[in-house]
Structure 1
C-alpha cells in the first residue's frame, strides 16, 4: 500500500488532545487560549485537526513517500495507534497490574511526546538566528560576503539575514528531528529500567486540568542540577481533565509493572489543579488547551495564585484571598 505524503504534521497527537475536547459527530473540538493572553474573551474553539501542527515538521529527504514519511509514520503507527489503549488502562481505577508491553507503551508515549514537540527545534532556530545576526553584522563591518562557521567558509553573497537563516534551518531540520527521536529512544531504554508509573486523580466536578502545545513537564527534586535530558527527572502529563500521569524515577524492580494511584480531595485537589495548570501555561509555546470551564477557571485564579508574595503578607491572608476566588 502506497504511503501518502502528509504535509500537516501534528507534534501533539490528536489521539491525546481529543480527551480534553468535545466530540461532535466524527470530529473533536477543543477550547484554545493563546499563551500570551489572560482574558476569557481570547478563548476560541477549534477542531483538533487545526492545532499543534506544523507543515513538514517530520518530513525527511528521500526519493519515495515512504522514505520522506518514515518518522511521521513511526509516530503514527508505533505510538499514536496505541494511545487509546494506554489511555483506557491509565484511567481505569481497577487496573493496578500491567504487562511489560503495556509498561513499554506508556513510558515510550510520554518520552516521545516530550521530545517530538517544536520546542527543541525552535530553541535551536532561535539560537542560530542570533548567531547569524552577529555574523552578518561582522561581515558588514569588515566588508566581506562570507564568514567561517565550524571551520567551513560560508557565503552570504546576495542573501538577506532572513533568507539565509530560513535556508539554513530548512536544510538542517531533518537532522534535528532525527536527533530528537534518537535521544528519545535512548532515554526510553533508561526509564524502562527505572520508572514508577503513577496516576493522580482530582475530585470535584469544578476542578479540571488543562494542557498545552508542550504538554510533558520535566522537573527535578534538585533544581540546581536540572537538565532536560536527565533520566532522573520527574515527568508529568495531564491525560484528561481529571487525571495526570507521572513517571517517577527509582522504582524497585518488583514494582515496575504496577500502577500507583492517588486521588486528591480538597484542599489538596485544588492545589494540584493550580500547580499543574500553572506548569502547563509556563511550559507552553503558543497555546493552552482544555474545556471552556477548565481554561476560564484557570484564568480566574491566575493573577492571585501566581503573583509574588508581598512583604509582610502572611499565610492567612493568602488563603483568604484564594478562598474568595472559590478555592
Structure 2
C-alpha cells in the first residue's frame, strides 16, 4: 500500500550479508555505534535503514534503487565468493558497478545530512539580507521533505556525472592477507587522497568500497597509478591501456588495512560494521576525538567572499577534516 510505513535501506542487505554471520535463517553483523561508543550484534534487516527514507508523499524511489541492486549484486557476490576479477573487465559489468557505486555514494544518510547542513547555512546567510517574497519562501522550505527532494534530484544528475568518472578509473581488487579485517559502514563508498583534493575526478584520488572482510574494490586515478601503492605517471594512450585491465593487489601490511579502515570509519554517519567485532582501533579513534559523533560534526565549511566587480556574495563550501561527500 502506498502510504504504509516501511524500512528502506540506504545500504543494501545483499551487501551487508558479506560482513555478517548466519544464525538459522537470519544474518547478524557486529555494529559499532559512534554516538554511544558501544558495539552490539544487529540483524542486517535493522541497520543501514530508516523508515520511509525515500518516500515523499505518494512518491517512492526505492524501486529504482532495488533495480540497480539487482544489476550489481550478482557481480559483487561472485567477486566476494571466489575473488576472481575477470568479470570486472567486462564492459557491461563495469558499467553496472559504476552506476551502483555512484548511487550508493549519493543515496546515504550521510549525504542527506550534508545537504541539510549546506542548505541550512545558505539559509542563515540569506536571512541576513532583505529578501524578496520568493526568496523568503525558499529559505523557509529547508525541511525534511525539501531535503529529500533535493537528494533525489542530486542523485539523478550527480550519478550521471559520476558514472564515467568511475568507469574510467584504474580498477584494483585488494586482497587482505593480514590477520585483521576490512570494516565497512553506513556510508561504504569512501574517498581518500594522499596529495590533494577529495573529489571523484581529483588527481591522485583513491575510492574504496569493501566487498567483504578480505576483499576491497579500489578505484584509482589512472593517470598516476598502475596499482595500489604503485605511483606511475601515464599519458595519452597509456592511460587507456592502464584502464582496460583490472589488477590484483595483495595487502600484507596491517598499516595499509588500518589506513583503509580509518577512512571508512571517519566517513561513517553513525554505524561501523565488522564481521568479527573488531572495533579496538575504532574505539581508540573515537576516544581521541578523531571520529566525531554525527550531531557534533561539521560536515560543510562555509565561506563567503565578495565579488569585487559587482559586490555580490560568492559562497564557497568545502569539507573539513579530510572528509568528503560532494563530487
Taking structure 2 as the reference length, the TM-score comes to 0.71
**What SS does the aligned partner of 1:43 have?**
strand
- Equivalent position to 2:201, from 197, 210, 230: 230
Shift of 1:109: 2.3
The residue number in structure 1 matching 2:166 is 191
**What SS does the aligned partner of 1:294 have?**
coil
Q: Which runs of 5+ in 2 are unaligned?
A: 224-238, 292-327
- Equivalent position to 2:240, from 227, 250, 253: 253
Residues 13, 6 of structure 1: CA spacing in aligned structure 2 closer, same or farther, 3 A cutoff?
farther
Residues 129, 175 of structure 1: CA spacing in aligned structure 2 closer, same or farther, 3 A cutoff?
closer
Shift of 1:201: 1.2
Matches within 5 A, 1:1-327: 7-36=6-35, 38=37, 42-62=38-58, 68-69=59-60, 71-89=61-79, 92-96=82-86, 98-130=89-121, 148=131, 151-154=134-137, 168-192=143-167, 194-204=168-178, 206-223=179-196, 226-230=197-201, 232=203, 233-250=205-222, 252-265=239-252, 268=253, 270-296=254-280, 298-299=282-283
Report the structure, 1 or 2, having the larger helix content: 1
**What SS does the aligned partner of 1:45 have?**
strand
Contact 2:192 / 2:263 at 8 angstroms: preserved in 1?
no
Q: Which runs of 5+ in 1 are unaligned?
A: 63-67, 140-146, 157-163, 308-327
Taking structure 1 as the reference length, the TM-score comes to 0.71
- 2 CA distance for matches of 1:199 and 1:229? 18
Of the structure 1 ranges 4-13 and 173-182, higher mean CA displacement relative to structure 2 is found in 4-13
Greater gyration radius: 1
**What SS does the aligned partner of 1:246 have?**
strand
Report the structure, 1 or 2, having the larger strand content: 2
User: What RMSD over aligned residues (CA atoms) do the two structures have, in Å?
Assistant: 3.4
